[in-house]
Structure 1
Amino acid sequence: MTRPHVLLSAAMSIDGYLDDASPERLLLSNPADFDRVDELRADCDAILVGSTTLRRDNPRLLVNDPARRAARQAAGRPAYPLKVTLSASGELGPELRFWHTGEAKLVYTGAAAALGLRAALGGLAEVVAVDLGGGLGPLLDDLGRRGVRRLMVEGGGSVHTQFLAEGLADELQLAVAPLLVGEAGAPRFVNPAAFPGGSTRRLRLLEARTVGADVVLLRYAPKESA
């Protein structure tokens, strides 16, 4: 069994925020970067996002370009990647757009919450009971058994933190926007954690380039040191 290649993808402000604290979503990326992310999604077998991000942002997580969807189908793949979320509590409502767009959906939750979530979703997604308190390894093992070879993780901060702290991320792509948020209640790219190697370990930089007029893309290999 092979675990998926795990790619963490995030857009953040210069001071490390994923959003501000207002009710409206802060758009950090520019059009060129949104297109880059769409291309990344088309190249992946599955896209994972945490339950807090589902409730806060209500995303659809689709491949928007029809040509990219057609290319996936021509290669014998579904038009859209598998959509994955995880929730320890299982508190996810059936009204979220996540369930009603794209194709297959998968939810990982604790054994105690699985039965209630299956009833609440009414077949909108497959619900898998897993011990999320024991780390994300079992989730990756299950995705590997399902044929997922490339997993794109789009947040939020708690999920990014967990993958990085457990040493499970193979690649990190950060789009840095020329904004300063500075709001204490706003979500950050990562939260405090004990990361492998500690604060002196330098990750290997794979790429740094400008995307569009004002976004800088930074690619790192989290399992490798500089």
Structure 2
Amino acid sequence: MYVVVNAAVSADGKLSSRRRDQLAISGDEDFARVDRLRADSDAVVVGVGTVLADDPHLTVKDEQLRDRRRENGRSANPARVVVDSNGRTPMDAAILDDAATTYVCLSENAPVERRADLADRAQLLTAGDDRVDLLGAFATLQEQGLEQIMVEGGGELIFSLFEAGLVDELRTFVGPKIVGGRDAPTLADGEGFVAEFPMLELEEFDRLDGGVLLTWCVEGR
């Protein structure tokens, strides 16, 4: 399995404002790049916080890219995965429509009634007691044939994936905007590292949309 984290952040490293509403950071060039990355992926992963805040669809927007996937014997869109320990994904979430297969990763303690509701709209994976065990969940996704994984946020999930040692590559678009705010989410939130920090090696950088795209490989992966 190869895991790519993709994110757009402000010049001061924020994913969104302190209100946690959707924030336009990049532009058309970067949107097209993200669409190509989705089209190349077997699955797109987000945390439930992103679902609640943004209600993303996580499908391939370009019809030619969808056609290319079909020509290669794949579904039009990659699978969609929600990491949702307590089953908080709304039943009317866009990610639960029939545009692609959706997996919801739950913990053992997710409420039974939420399991029953979600099982009508998605395939359920259970790993971990109180929180989703990401190593176990990603191993199960790999057993389903999902090898190329794209992660689109949010900051809590991204930190947890780095903590679990699951990230192979980080692609960050840094936009020309200052957001500020001690409570605004950053690229990697969670508890934070105090030792044994994951180290990155810069592979390439490109200017686009008035900002810069940084591509990093995780050392030791």
TM-score by length of 1: 0.90
Q: Does 1:167 align with 2:165?
A: yes
**Is 2:215 the partner of 1:219?**
yes
Q: How many residues align?
A: 219
The match for 2:144 is 146
Measured in 1, the distance between the counterparts of 2:218 and 2:151 equals 14
Conservation of the 8 A alpha-carbon contact between 1:49 and 1:153:
yes
Q: CA deviation at 1:117?
A: 2.3
The answer to whether the 8 Å contact 1:60/1:101 transfers is no
C-alpha deviation, 1:89, in angstroms: 1.2
Segments of structure 2 that go 5 or more residues without pairing to the other structure are: none
Alignment CA distance shift 1:110-1:24 (3 Å): closer
* Residue in 2 that maps onto 1:128: 125
Q: Which whole-Å CA distance do the structure 2 matches of 1:195 and 1:116 have between them? A: 39
Q: How far 1:95 sits from its partner (Å)? A: 1.3
**Structure 2 counterpart of 1:59, from 51, 56, 71:** 56
Match of 1:14 in 2: 11
Q: In the TM superposition, what is the alpha-carbon distance from 1:185 to its structure 2 partner?
A: 2.4
Aligned to 1:89: 86
Q: CA deviation at 1:48?
A: 0.3
Asked if the contact 1:8/1:152 (under 8 Å) is kept, the reply is yes
Any unmatched runs of 5+ in structure 1?
none
How far did residue 197 of structure 1 move? Answer: 3.1
Are the equivalent residues in 1 in contact too, given 2:86–2:107 (CA < 8 A)? yes
Q: Partner amino acid for 1:217?
A: L
Note if 1:156 corresponds to 2:151: no
Whether the 8 Å contact between 1:176 and 1:215 is mirrored in structure 2 is yes
Q: TM-score, normalised by structure 2?
A: 0.92
Per-residue deviation, 1:121: 2.7
Aligned partner letter, 1:219: T
Question: How far apart, CA to CA, are the structure 2 residues paired with 1:101 and 1:181?
Answer: 36
Identical pairs, percent: 31
CA RMSD of aligned residues (A): 1.9
Identify which range, 155-164 or 181-190, moves more after superposition. Answer: 181-190
